[in-house]
Amino acid sequence: MPTLVGGVGELYQGDLDFGRHAAEQLARADLGRDVIVEDLHYGALAVAQRMAEVHPAALVLIGARPAGQTPGSLRRCRIRDHRLSAAEFQQSLGGAATGYVGIDLVIDVAAGLGVLPDRTVTIELEPVTAGPATALSPRAARALPRAVGLARAEALRTPLFELEDRLADHDPGRLGQIGAPRTVTLLRDELRSLDLTGRWGRSFALRDRLRTQIAAELPAEGMDHLDWALWWALIEELDRLEALEAAAATEDLNAGKCQEH
């Protein structure tokens, strides 16, 4: 299944049009054949219908969202277990029926209709301006390359998280808590943290340890060919992402904090 990267925004409304500018740049980037980039400005209900058609494995939304933080700042939010009451969903549908689109409304409608992917991440700008304008504010324009880089990194990580899901179905903990199985368990913990925070932590150091252990240790009791295949695939995927992200050299987010959607 593909990853859908969507720029969410209001056309020609200053910084509220941030998502469209980001989608234009991301459409020119090399994100691989399993990544779809779209400008999602055409209403939250239509966006949810598009998700139902594509059925993405992951969703990355990028756009402006006022949250009372530092104007021009960026924040990354991992959306988890987003649920609405019946009344909240009806209210969201009412907003969507007007053709309005915004990150919150896209998430609400998609979740209510059961089409929001389990892995959904937003890259959000705190807008400086809102109102008729064809250009972004200077602060939003400066934030745009960083936001594009962050969204690109999220999209490229989808195969890694799919591998982690497969490891959950073939738990290395059953092989014991020493040597390579222990390292894989620790690495899975780091990848779950990466999913939540967007930060790598000890992932690459544990990858290097695992590579050495696989080369030096005898197979653990109960180990099978699928274990070997998944562990080597994990190492190779981390190698690929380390090279890609080092080349992109994206900056950290500034002080913006994710708030509940």
> Which CATH number fits the domain that encloses residue 141?
3.40.50.1450
**Owning domain of residue 98:** 3-156
Tell whether 120 and 215 lie within a shared domain: no
The predicted structure's pLDDT at residue 158: 95
Helix, strand, or coil here: 110? helix
Binning pLDDT at 50, 70 and 90, where does residue 175 land? confident
User: Tens digit of pLDDT for each residue in 220-242?
Assistant: 777 888 988 999 999 999 999 99
- Label residue 43 left, alpha or beta by phi (over 0 means left) and psi (-120 to 50 means alpha): left
Same domain (yes/no): 150, 172: no
Residue 162 parent element (H or E)? helix 158-169
- Residue 255: inside a domain, yes or no? no
Q: What is the pTM of this model?
A: 0.91
Domain limit, last residue, from 108, 126, 156: 156
Whether 20 and 9 have beta carbons less than 8 Å apart is answered as: yes
pLDDT tens-digit map of 109-137: 999 999 999 999 999 999 999 999 999 99
Mean pLDDT (the chain) is: 91
Residue 258 included in any domain = no
> Do 68 and 179 fall within a single domain?
no
Residues 143 and 16 in one domain: yes
pLDDT at 190: 97
| Whole-Å CA distances, 4 to 62, 213, 231 | 11, 36, 27
Cα angle 176-179-181, degrees, rounded to a multiple of 5: 50
The answer, yes or no, to whether residue 246 has pLDDT greater than 90, is no
pLDDT > 70? residue 44: yes
- What is the percentage of the chain residues whose pLDDT exceeds 70? 96
Same domain for 144 and 165, yes or no, is no
Both 149 and 182 in one domain: the answer is no
Structurally, the chain folds into a number of domains equal to 2
Model confidence band, residue 36 (pLDDT cutoffs 50, 70, 90): very high
